[in-house]
Each structure stands twice: as structure tokens, then as C-alpha cells.
Amino acid sequence: MIVPHKTQCYGDSQDPPEEAIPMCTLRNFPNQIEHCIEWGRDKFNELFVDTPGDLVSYLDNPKLFVAKLKNDSTSSAVVSTLKRISDFIKMKQANSFEACVLLAKNCFNNYYHHTILDLLSIFPKDHVDKEGQPFWSGPKRAPSHIEFDPSNKMHMEFVNSYANLIAAALHIPENRDIASVTGLASGAKADPYVPKKIEVKLPEEEKNNAQPEPQAAAPEDEELIENLLKELEDLQTKVKKDQFTPADFEKDDDQNFHIAFINSAANLRATNYQIANCDFAKTKMIAGKIIPAIATTTAMITGAVTAEIYKFVQGYTEIESVKNGFINLALPLFLFSEPTEVNKIKSKDYDPISMCQTRSIPEGYTIYDKTLVDIGSITIQ
């Protein structure tokens, strides 16, 4: 057995992990593909985990859910959550994959076209700060909007994965035929762009105001909340909570569209900001938090075990030929010794655990031995 020294491993080195990425960087000013992947992972949670999960909680106990939501969130966040729940119920009532594709296309336009135009309306590409320096410089990259093109493979990967994930959450039959989905996306009439004013925090502002003061609810928000609650009271009677299933993120199933959505979402955002795209494997590694071990304890164990496997496949099965290892990389200490024979289970006149006489059949078997009973179907009787 190889006993590793308990060290904290951070990939290829012993450096601690990087600090959390500021939210303003993820939302408006990404400059690395890692920022885009984290943004895509956040969108996956928001769209396919949190929203259907909130809907199930609402249908389970509407009054308790609304009371907790109002207590824990700002008025604008309450409006946003209730609106998403209402939209989900209406999607379920439509119960068509075509509606899922239309929603995916609208989402594409919102993320990669409308929001970018809104951001550039506040900070044009020639905008200068109060010191007279170009605003879009250094880590802040000037974005460009993207027009949806059904012939573009990346665009369709986003729409296809989004539509199928929404369909799975709503228990609507999925459609994995990319040609069929492309046809639906081409014919879907997306919402036109309507300019709107968005609130944008700069990195320095977010740093100076780490804990913003709570804001009082705006009168228009209160009115919206009341209207949404009345709408939901009517809608909730038309659906059941078992008709909705939040996604359970699974990085290792390449057919469930989880990594596919995050990869396409991240690469499209990277294209917005002129950042080099990444492949599927890198997205899976970062979004799935897979930490490679190159020069760490884990790699040392792997090497030692592999050396023993080489002996075994070459026919060296005598106990004198193999070795136990004790490794402590902190000292460093490497000890290899001849292992003892595996414990053989034998008959006993008195076994202290069973508190009676025991008989071993066959005599001297080990925990690694197998007894094959191949006489067809049998029962205890």
C-alpha cells in the first residue's frame, strides 16, 4: 500500500487557487476564456437549475415561497424570478419543441446582440474616462454584437443545446436532429431589438462598494409583483410540480447537452469580446472543476502503482517480487518493503467475533477469492 502525505494540491503547482473573479468582469468585461466559461456555467444554473427549481418550490407552497423570496431578495430580483416562473408555466402550456427553439433563439439574441448593443450605447468604442484615457483599454475589451446565423455551427450548437435542455426541464419530447432544429430556428420569428438602459458597474466601483446599501423597492416594482402574483395564482392551477425537473449538472455525460451548452455559450461570448475560443475538453475541465495532477502526490502514487503493474503483467507474481510503498513528499521519504501475505481465513474452535466455532469452506480462502455457483436459478429453499 502507498500512503500519500496529506498535502493540498492545486493542479501542476502548490500555488493556492486564484481569487474569485469579480462579478462585473463576468457580466460585462471578460478578457479571458475562463471568464466566459464561468459566465456560461452561471447561465446554465440560472436557466436550467434555479428557474425550474424555483417553480417546483412555488407550486409546492406558493405563500411560503413568495414570503421567503421577498425577504431574501431585492424587489427587482423578485420581479425577475416571478417573471421566469410565469414564462416557464406558459412554455409548459404550449408544450411544443418549436416554442423551446424560439426561446433559445430569443436568448441568443439577448445575450450576444441586444445586451452588447445596450452596453455600447453607454460606453461607445471611442468612449474616454474622466482622465481622458480610452475606456476600452487594458483588461477591458470592446465587444461587438453577433447576428444570429442558422448556417453557423456554433450558433446552432447554442440553440440546439438550449432548446433540448429546456425541453428536458419541461418534460417535452426532445429533438436531437440538428437539421430539423436548424429548420425550426430559421423559421422562428425572434423578438426585435428594443434599446433599454442597463446598469453597469465598473471594476473599480465594485471594489470600492463591496457591500452596497439595500435599496427601497420602487413603486413600479411593487405593482409588477402584485400583477405577477395574480397571474401566477391563475396559472398554478393548470400545471403540477412533477411536470418540471431541474437539471442536475453532470460533466461526464457528453450526450446530455450540459457541457455542450456551456461550451457554445462561452465561445460565443468570447467571440463578442475577441477572445480566442476553446475546445470542448477545456470547457469540461474548467466548468466541471477537474484539477489535473502533474507533479503532485497523486501522480507519485500513480507512478509507483504502475511499476507494480509492469511486474504483474510480465509474470512476476511471487510475493518477493512486489513491494509496498510508503511515500511522504513533505520530507521527502520513500520507503519500499516486502508485503506480508494476505490473511487466510481458517477454521477455528472458537471465533471471538462470531462467539462460536467456525468452519472455513474451502479451508484457507482469502477475501480476494471467489466461489462460483453455476447450477442455474436457485433460492434459499
- The residues near 218 (Cβ < 8 Å, ≥ 6 apart) are 75, 76
Residues 129-153 pLDDT 10s = 888 899 998 889 999 999 999 999 9
pLDDT, residue 371, reads 82
Confidence of residue 372 (pLDDT cuts 50, 70, 90): confident
CATH of the domain at 169: 1.10.10.2660
Lookup result for grid cell 397571474: 231
Give the whole-angstrom CA distance, residue 354 versus residue 228. 67
Based on the fold, state whether residues 40 and 134 are members of the same structural domain.
Answer: yes
Residue 263 has pLDDT above 80, yes or no: yes
Residue 2 has pLDDT above 70, yes or no: no
| Residue 308 belongs to some domain of the structure | yes
Confidence of residue 18 (pLDDT cuts 50, 70, 90): very low
Cell of 237: 392551477
Based on the fold, state whether residues 165 and 256 are members of the same structural domain.
Answer: yes
CA 207 to chain CA centroid, Å, is 27
Catalytic residues: 24
Residue 321 has pLDDT above 50, yes or no: yes
Based on the fold, state whether residues 168 and 262 are members of the same structural domain.
Answer: yes
Based on the fold, state whether residues 301 and 252 are members of the same structural domain.
Answer: no
Q: What would the mean pLDDT of 209-220 be, rounded to a whole number?
A: 56
Please state, in angstroms and as integers, the Cα–Cα distance from residue 25 to each residue in 21, 52, 142, 206, following that order.
Answer: 7, 27, 13, 10
Residues 242-257 pLDDT 10s = 999 999 999 999 999 9
Confidence of residue 13 (pLDDT cuts 50, 70, 90): very low
Backbone dihedral angles phi then psi of residue 13, each to the nearest 5 degrees: -135, 180
Give the whole-angstrom CA distance, residue 209 versus residue 359. 74
Q: Which of 226, 252, 287 is where one domain is finished? A: 287
Burial class (CB in 10 A: 0-12, 13-18, 19+), 355: exposed
Query: What's the pTM?
Result: 0.71
Residues in the chain: 381
pLDDT, residue 209, reads 61
Q: Given the DSSP bridges, would you call strands 324-328 and 2-3 parallel, antiparallel or unpaired?
A: parallel
Peptide bond into 173 cis (omega under 30): no
Q: Which of 244, 270, 287 is where one domain is finished? A: 287
Based on the fold, state whether residues 260 and 325 are members of the same structural domain.
Answer: no
Please state, in angstroms and as integers, the Cα–Cα distance from residue 28 to each residue in 39, 140, 262, 283, following that order.
Answer: 10, 9, 17, 20
Backbone dihedral angles phi then psi of residue 343, each to the nearest 5 degrees: -65, 130
DSSP letter (8 states) at residue 128 = B
Based on the fold, state whether residues 103 and 202 are members of the same structural domain.
Answer: yes
Confidence of residue 14 (pLDDT cuts 50, 70, 90): very low
Based on the fold, state whether residues 261 and 379 are members of the same structural domain.
Answer: no
Lookup result for grid cell 453557423: 152
Least Cα distance to 9 among 295, 337, 375 occurs for 295
Give the whole-angstrom CA distance, residue 21 versus residue 102. 32
Domain membership of residue 374 as a residue range: 1-15+296-381
| Residue 26 belongs to some domain of the structure | no
Based on the fold, state whether residues 272 and 306 are members of the same structural domain.
Answer: no
Q: Which of 242, 266, 287 is where one domain is finished? A: 287
Based on the fold, state whether residues 242 and 310 are members of the same structural domain.
Answer: no
| Residue 24 belongs to some domain of the structure | no
Based on the fold, state whether residues 207 and 353 are members of the same structural domain.
Answer: no
| Total domains present in the chain | 2
Say whether 381 sits in a helix, a strand or coil: coil
